[in-house]
């Protein structure tokens, strides 16, 4: 579910970069606002549901599970990335709200390219390791509860973002 959300967010990032190329400020703003909201919802689901479930797991349950320290440092890194994404996107929204020259689009574009690059690495770390740890560290009941909680969070998006923006 979270990996599927990565794919959608990836598409939204591509759409935003395409609008930045076109240079229509209003469309750029709409795309940027949508990406910001979707990423915020995704990050919230990871912070509120995924990370606590993993960190509270019993690391002694099996011998083939990752060590707590490894898990802890991966999640710390992911949290730093999340802070970076939210800070950068917030700053870009602020730039777009200001009535200034076309340089603002160049500045936002530069930032979105950096975000995109870091997000790709971030999502890889999650999909290749962190999301998979759920399967080895949690029992079936915990996994089902986590899935339900993540689903609830992902569906909990502000209504103005649920319509189709094409």
Q: What is the DSSP letter of 34?
A: H
Q: How far apart are CA 101 and CA 17, in angstroms?
A: 18
Q: Which of 36, 126, 137, 154 is the binder for Fe ion (CB under 5 A)?
A: 126
Residues 32-71: x/- map of binding to Fe ion (CB under 5 A)? Answer: --------------x-------------------------
Give the interface segment with Fe ion, choosing from 98-106, 111-119, 125-133, 134-142 (CB under 5 A): 125-133
State the minimum distance, in angstroms, from the CB of residue 60 to Fe ion.
Answer: 27
153 binding Fe ion? (CB under 5 A): no
# residues contacting Fe ion (CB under 5 A): 2
State the minimum distance, in angstroms, from the CB of residue 82 to Fe ion.
Answer: 6
Q: How far apart are CA 95 and CA 157, in angstroms?
A: 24
E-strand ranges in 72-116 read none
Rg of the chain in Å (alpha carbons) = 18
Q: How far apart are CA 127 and CA 133, in angstroms?
A: 10
Residue closer to Fe ion by CB (options 8, 56) is 8
Binding residues for Fe ion (CB under 5 A): 46, 126
């Amino acid at each position: 579910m979270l990996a599927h959300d990565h794919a959608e967010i990836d598409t939204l990032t591509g759409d935003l970069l395409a609008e930045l190329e076109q240079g229509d400020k209003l469309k750029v703003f709409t795309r940027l606002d949508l990406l910001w909201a979707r990423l915020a919802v995704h990050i919230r689901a990871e912070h509120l549901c995924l990370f606590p479930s993993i960190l509270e797991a019993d690391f002694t349950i099996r011998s083939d599970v990752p060590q707590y320290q490894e898990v802890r440092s991966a999640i710390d890194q992911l949290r730093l990335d999340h802070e970076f994404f939210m800070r950068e996107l917030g700053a870009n929204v602020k730039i777009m709200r200001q009535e200034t020259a076309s340089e603002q689009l160049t500045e936002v574009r530069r930032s979105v390219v950096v975000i995109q690059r870091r997000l790709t690495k971030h999502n890889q770390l999650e999909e290749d390791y962190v999301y998979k740890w759920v399967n080895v560290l949690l029992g079936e009941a915990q996994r089902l509860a986590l899935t339900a909680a993540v689903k609830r969070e992902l569906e909990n998006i502000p209504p103005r973002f649920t319509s189709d923006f094409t």
